[in-house]
Amino acid sequence: MSFKDAIKSLGKNKKERKERFRQIEEQFKIQKVLEERQKSANERELERFMKEKREEQIKERLDSFRKERESDMKFNHNPLNTPNITTHTDWEVLKENNMFTGGDNMFSGMGNMFMK
């Protein structure tokens, strides 16, 4: 089996899957239309109002969760408490002695290149 054949077989499987999905979706739509036709006008209207009410409740809850998350991100996150190299490690840089103090300056014996 060549590389080209392998790619064709993958494309074929994808097309078959899409076709099956389309058929199932079409069957679902037909079933839904049949169920709607069997209901009375009042029943359809009641279901529509119930659906609208449910969507409003979902939207309110979603807005509440979004507000809560935004508040957490703004006020409950303290970057000073996050682990970093200066505060929360085994090797703390700020507690060690300065390794550059007391050493000789390697440039002290050299002359200035501008003054000859």
Cβ(73)–Cβ(66) below 8 Å? no
- 101 in a structural domain: no
Strands (E), the chain: none
| ∠ Cα 108 110 116 (to 5°) | 130
The residue range of the domain holding 17 is: 1-38
Does any domain span residue 106? no
pTM across the whole model:
0.48
Sort residue 21 into left (φ over 0), alpha (ψ -120 to 50) or beta: alpha
- Residues 57-110 pLDDT 10s: 999 999 999 999 998 888 877 666 666 655 566 666 667 777 777 777 777 777
Same domain, 46 and 33: no
Number of domains in the chain: 2
How far is it, in rounded angstroms, from Cα 50 to Cα 63?
A: 20
Instruction: Output the pLDDT for position 91.
Output: 64
**44 and 54 part of one domain:** yes
Distant-in-sequence, close-in-space partners of 44: CB < 8 Å, separation ≥ 6: 36
pLDDT higher than 90, residue 37: yes
